[in-house]
Amino acid sequence: MFRSLKRLYPYVRPVAGYLVASALLAGVATLCGLAFPLVIQRIIDGPIAHKDVSGLWVPTLFLLAFGIGEAVLFNVRRLVAGRPIVRVEQNMRDALYAKLQALPVAFHDRWPAGQLISRAASDLGIIRRFMAFGAVFLVVNIATFIVGVAILLTLSVPLGLVVAALALPLVGLSSFYERKYQVLARRSQDQAGDLTTTVEESVLGIRIIKAFGRSAHIGRRFIDQAMDLRQTELTKAKVVSLLWAVIILLPEIALGIALIFGIRQVADGSMTAGQLVAFFGVAMGLRWPIDSIGWLLAIANDTAAATDRFFEVMDAPVTIASPATPKTTTDRSGRLTFRDVEFRFPDTAPATKPVLSGLNLDVAAGETLAIVGATGSGKTTLTALVERLYDVTGGSITLDGIDLRDFELSDLRQRVAIAFEEPTLFSASVRENVLLGMPDGTDDDVRRALRVAQAGFVDDLPWGLDTRIGEQGMSLSGGQRQRLALARAVVGNPSVLVLDDPLSALDIHTEAQVEAALRSVLGSTTALVIAHRASTVMLADRVALLSGGRITATGSHSELMATVPAYRYLLASEADSTAAAGLAAADALKVSTGKGFSR
């Protein structure tokens, strides 16, 4: 437990002074409480024993001062610790978010979103509460017990030793239960993460769940997970209750024994009545520090588990990062070269066949290349390599003569933009979504990109560019979401534009309009277009067939249709008179733009 908690020190170090001050204030306030019985002893053995009422004023003022001091000090302690601890939580949350952004896509492929959300929310809340209260009072209460026992020994050595003897069984029991509780604390937080994942998936997939009538099935899974979490929490409560019961019982036994011996000492005159009252007053003042040990240890174990979960993310290696000495070039023509590229996913066995192997491809500056292949052939993986969402595991990819791994990441991702088949939009305005990769862009830039994407529907939204489109953009149709994602890709005038079948959700008329508008962008931009149908292929100057992890053929659409049976098979559904007419129209457009005949 303590090994885990020690890892929090780098985050706590900037506010360590406040925590020390908080502990000192709490300690002094606790000592004020322990001083009460000692003043009462003076009253009993002094004014009361001598029947001197006038002698009550001074000790009464001391009692009043100690009471006020205790209340004020505890209040100041909260003020001293509150703001700095919230700052620590904020810094940890900022660090976690930055780490999640820096980690490669391969990490996010393996981790459920709910587990990451629970670490950023509930786990950091547990850590904050422990640092603000649990850590302070774990130290203060142990120190109070030691000081209290010292005071008891000054009042009566035999009786003080009886209370001091509590320490050994308390340490042993706490260690025993701490080991059991630590396992349960980690299990509980993992189960809470799984539950969060189920809720998150249910909310995002609510349309699918309702459409297939699976609400009851998902509900049963949620209830099962919630019941597992409930059972773990009940087991945790049982462990804590047993520990707490024993911790309460031991002081009761010790006080009972001390009371018997104390009365006998008063009877034989070796101890005054005031000393006995003071002894039991101090002993009762130690009840909270003793009784709280079980609860504070439970909080400490919850925090240790939360800390381990936090550092599981923070310790994950960032395998895709900017190099120490990045290279740059003023050449932004967008020439792409793939040399002997190999790629396998990080979590696959070494003997597994790579997704891409020995792939070679040259894409000239300003060329539009369509990539065609069967489902699962690695088309999307290939395009993801261009933005370094994944890194090649063999070979190299160069942009304008520089290996992608030698670019500053921010520079590379300004040069390369991508529009995915499944567009991801954010709960923000249309303007913010389009300018995601170009934060300093203007409304004119947004309007130009929307025209290219044929996204005129934005003007019909309630507040135009300022309209918030809701989480995942689900308030829009699939085609509208794709057009906004396309606008986001083209707004920054990238050197390389990657289009992962971005028009699949459009009707044929809108698709034709978008394709026509896109040609103005593609005339000056290198583009990789994932294509599943002939209408998309028509955008390209050249077509590459991906099969078996390699590029097996390149050429124009008509050349491949005539000479490559596998290509004809893939586009068979589009190889009709409509496609032929569309190809003729595309060729006519290429004549007007001068594109497609220079190679």
Considering only residues 296 and 10, tell me which one the structure prediction assigns the higher pLDDT.
10
Q: Residue 570 region, left (φ>0) first, then alpha (ψ -120 to 50), else beta?
A: alpha
User: What are the φ/ψ torsions at residue 378 (nearest 5 degrees)?
Assistant: 105, 15
Is residue 208 included in any domain, yes or no? Answer: no
Residues 523-545, mean pLDDT to the nearest whole number: 84
Is residue 78 included in any domain, yes or no? Answer: yes
Please say if the pLDDT value at position 599 is more than 50. no
CA separation for the pair 382, 390 (Å, rounded): 9
293 with 360, same domain: the answer is no
Both tokens assigned to 160: 């003080």
391 with 498, same domain: the answer is yes
- Rounded to a whole number of angstroms, the CA Rg of the chain reads 36
293 with 377, same domain: the answer is no
260 with 305, same domain: the answer is yes
Give the pTM.
0.79
Residues 2-22, mean pLDDT to the nearest whole number: 90
What pLDDT band is residue 590 in, cutting at 50, 70 and 90? very low
Which neighbouring-strand residues pair with 487? none
CA separation for the pair 107, 100 (Å, rounded): 9
pLDDT in tens, 263-284: 888 888 888 888 888 888 888 8
465 with 583, same domain: the answer is yes
Check residue 542 and give its pLDDT: 93
Is residue 488 included in any domain, yes or no? Answer: yes
What residues contact residue 581 under an 8 Å CB cut-off, 6+ apart? none
Please say if the pLDDT value at position 493 is more than 90. no
Is residue 195 included in any domain, yes or no? Answer: no
Mean pLDDT of the chain: 84
> CATH number, domain at 508?
3.40.50.300
The domain total for the chain is: 2
Please say if the pLDDT value at position 544 is more than 90. yes
Both tokens assigned to 234: 């009940």
276 with 394, same domain: the answer is no
Is residue 281 included in any domain, yes or no? Answer: yes
For 213-216, which contacts have Cβ atoms below 8 Å and span 24 or more sequence positions? none
Is residue 305 included in any domain, yes or no? Answer: yes
Is residue 204 included in any domain, yes or no? Answer: no
CA separation for the pair 454, 448 (Å, rounded): 10
What pLDDT band is residue 597 in, cutting at 50, 70 and 90? very low
What pLDDT band is residue 312 in, cutting at 50, 70 and 90? very high
Residues 529-553, mean pLDDT to the nearest whole number: 86
Please say if the pLDDT value at position 589 is more than 80. no
139 with 173, same domain: the answer is yes
CA separation for the pair 43, 40 (Å, rounded): 5
Q: List the single range of 12-16, 318-322, 529-533, 589-593 with lowest mean pLDDT.
A: 589-593
Check residue 308 and give its pLDDT: 93
Considering only residues 179 and 147, tell me which one the structure prediction assigns the higher pLDDT.
147
580 with 495, same domain: the answer is yes
589 with 510, same domain: the answer is yes
What pLDDT band is residue 316 in, cutting at 50, 70 and 90? very high
Q: List the single range of 1-5, 85-89, 232-236, 588-592 with lowest mean pLDDT.
A: 588-592
CA separation for the pair 469, 471 (Å, rounded): 7
303 with 372, same domain: the answer is no
pLDDT in tens, 36-50: 888 888 888 888 877
pLDDT in tens, 185-203: 888 888 888 888 888 778 7
CA separation for the pair 519, 496 (Å, rounded): 14
Q: How many C-beta atoms lie closer than 10 Å to residue 550's C-beta?
A: 17
CA separation for the pair 166, 157 (Å, rounded): 15
Looking at the chain, the whole-number percentage of residues with pLDDT higher than 70 is 94
Both tokens assigned to 277: 């009252």
Please say if the pLDDT value at position 415 is more than 60. yes
Check residue 555 and give its pLDDT: 93
Measured in residues, the chain has a length of 599
pLDDT in tens, 357-395: 999 999 999 998 999 988 888 888 998 999 999 999 999
Check residue 96 and give its pLDDT: 94
Is residue 264 included in any domain, yes or no? Answer: yes
CA separation for the pair 506, 478 (Å, rounded): 8
pLDDT in tens, 325-345: 999 888 888 999 999 999 998
Give the domain range for residue 80: 2-186+237-314
Residue at which a domain ends, from 284, 314, 344:
314
182 with 71, same domain: the answer is yes
Whether the CA torsion 42, 45, 48, 52 is positive or negative: it is: negative
Alpha-carbon distance values, 43 to 56, 65, 156 (Å): 7, 16, 18
Residue with tokens 């439970």: 298
Residues 299-306, mean pLDDT to the nearest whole number: 89
295 with 422, same domain: the answer is no
> CATH number, domain at 117?
1.20.1560.10
User: What are the φ/ψ torsions at residue 196 (nearest 5 degrees)?
Assistant: -65, -40
Alpha-carbon distance values, 79 to 12, 33, 589 (Å): 17, 20, 72
Both tokens assigned to 550: 């390699």
